[in-house]
Amino acid sequence: MRSKSLLLINKDVPEELLFLQCYDELKSDIQNIVDMPDKKIDRMILFLHQNKGKLANRKRNHYKELSDKEINKMEQAYNKIFERQ
Average pLDDT, the chain: 89
In a domain, 47, yes or no: yes
In a domain, 4, yes or no: no
Q: What is the pLDDT of residue 6?
A: 53
pLDDT tens, residue by residue, 15-53: 888 899 999 999 999 999 999 999 999 999 999 999 999
In a domain, 53, yes or no: yes
In a domain, 31, yes or no: yes
In a domain, 39, yes or no: yes
In a domain, 67, yes or no: yes
In a domain, 1, yes or no: no
Roughly how many angstroms between the first and final C-alpha of the chain, as a whole number? Answer: 28
Q: What is the pLDDT of residue 44?
A: 98
In a domain, 72, yes or no: yes
Domains of the chain: total: 1
| 55 burial type by CB count under 10 A (0-12 exposed, 13-18 middle, 19+ buried) | buried
